[in-house]
A and B are shown apart, each in its own frame.
Chain A
């Protein structure tokens, strides 16, 4: 028996898992309908932007009703958002809260506790709707969850060792996360050989708070490379609306081009790379009409950048978890807007693209030059020593020296570069766009204003 298989058996012998049957799960994936694979939909749906809302409820009934509403409303990809206890591998608390939700008919969990429901019944639901399902979670150690998701028929797995740690956790060990996700990549790669590939997606928004595009792109590509080197064949890089339309256009171009370039560099140029766009992930206005406008603008930008998939928000964002009706309305708005955006000319800003590409290359040069023997260790060391620095990360490993603000056109610019290995040319370019006074208070006031840019 291989080491991987031995690890899988240990992980799946968890007391909360009811008799996992490896051979049966493989058989299921091998014979599963192509309609369940988003990777297949990406291939056959060329040029069109798939629409995916957000959502997850504790009970089977409410989850079923959500999917029912979504599929009758033209949703292309169904979300399966997992509750926070499961994300922390606390299946006992999830079980208790699921029981309470069922008994009292109230939502006592903020998502679907997949481990407690189990893969047999969840598979019934997914195969019934016969639409791709995307697993959305935030789990540092997702080795068990991902096995059950794939066995259920959820053939897209979001997350990664950096994007699910730095924005979400104060002290989950970053090195452990790399190893746990390496296992996930291997399992995903193994299943990908049986039918259409299982798609992996990275979480580009990060903290969604003034993250400069060079950091987003570097982290997206780093997670992609760590996935492809384990044999994953379909991968989605993503980013969220920055607040500047031009910066979104530039980011999408450089992200696509650089992702391809670096995949080829490690000998994985055969993998399919997709682009996902998240509508505004920062604070939403409390005025629902303004929210509608923000959502429509996001849809328009997704069309302009030619995103393969858009993940939507709703007008209820400022007020809590949206109802399934809020969600359906947002999806129908987004679809309507996307439909108008056909045959749009290609916008080019050579100067910005050149600058961003150079920044990404400079950071990757420093990562690849790290003395460690494997890619994950190089990336790990680069986070530790501040070569990768995520603004507003709560994690103790993050360097926190990078400071960003918006320029007059709302582009996110680097004000203090911390230990980012940017050349003088790159850094000067950023500085040339800013005109902040010498008063240090003005920077803090500017940051406060820039975070709340959509309010």
Chain B
């Protein structure tokens, strides 16, 4: 199963990005890591090029919303219908209320949203979701 991942926007927080990469690999995913400072268009291009099953976007500086709110436009493209869209990390600047953040990002087009959750628990949820999806 192929995953495209990276950190969205002008965000250089590389440590979590590498940990996601290592964790996904150890769970048997084929990982295409675009690294830090990646724009939504680049993510979408990579998903198309690699024929990925999952797009996992992360963000630490809290500015993800501005960079990702137009996901639904890309999602409507035919070749992205079966892709699972995931976003996680710190999804608001300052303190955010999870009960508002999660539905908001789901509206933008994400299937799974993790706000300040544990990395490994998040990946467990992703794996369960992938199994169900099949």
User: Which positions in A face B, CB cutoff 8 Å?
Assistant: 170, 207, 209, 391-394, 396, 400, 403, 440-441, 443-445, 447-448, 451
Chain A proximity mask over B5-39: 1 for CB below 8 Å, otherwise 0: 00000001011001101110011000001011100
- Contact (Cβ within 8 A) B15 A392: yes
Q: A392 touches which one: B18, B26, B33 (CB < 8 A)? A: B18
Q: How far is the CB of B31 from chain A (nearest CB, A)?
A: 10
Interface membership of chain B positions 26-66, coded 1 if the CB is closer than 8 angstroms to chain A and 0 otherwise: 11000001011100000000000000000000000000000
Residues from chain B with a CB closer than 8 A to the CB of A396 are 35
Residue of A nearest to B38 (CB): A170
B120 at interface, CB cutoff 8 A = yes
Q: B120 — nearest CB in chain A belongs to which residue?
A: A441
**Contacts A170-B37, A394-B35 known; A400 to B23 CB distance under 8 Å?**
no
What residue of chain A has the Cβ atom nearest to residue B20's Cβ?
A: A444
In addition to A443-B26, A444-B26, 12 A-B residue pairs with Cβ atoms within 8 Å of each other are A207-B14, A391-B18, A394-B12, A394-B35, A400-B18, A440-B23, A440-B27, A441-B120, A444-B22, A444-B23, A445-B120, A447-B19
Which residue of B12, B22, B33, B35 contacts A447 across the interface (Cβ within 8 Å)? B22
Identify whether the interface residues of B are mostly helix, strand, loop, or mixed: helix
A–B complex contacts, Cβ < 8 Å, 10 sampled: A170-B12, A170-B37, A207-B14, A209-B15, A440-B27, A444-B23, A445-B120, A447-B19, A447-B22, A448-B19
Give the docked Cα–Cα distance between A396 and B12 (Å).
12
Q: Are A403 and B22 in contact (CB under 8 A)?
A: yes
Q: Are A394 and B36 in contact (CB under 8 A)?
A: yes
Give me the 8 closest cross-chain CB pairs, A-B, nearest first. A440-B26, A394-B14, A394-B36, A444-B23, A170-B37, A441-B120, A392-B14, A392-B18
B117 CB, nearest partner CB in chain A, Å? 14
- A443 touches which of B12, B14, B22, B36 (Cβ 8 Å): B22
Q: B93 at the A/B interface (Cβ < 8 Å)? A: no
Measured in the bound complex, the distance between the Cα atoms of B9 and A170 in whole Å is: 13
Chain B residues with Cβ under 8 A from A447's Cβ? 19, 22
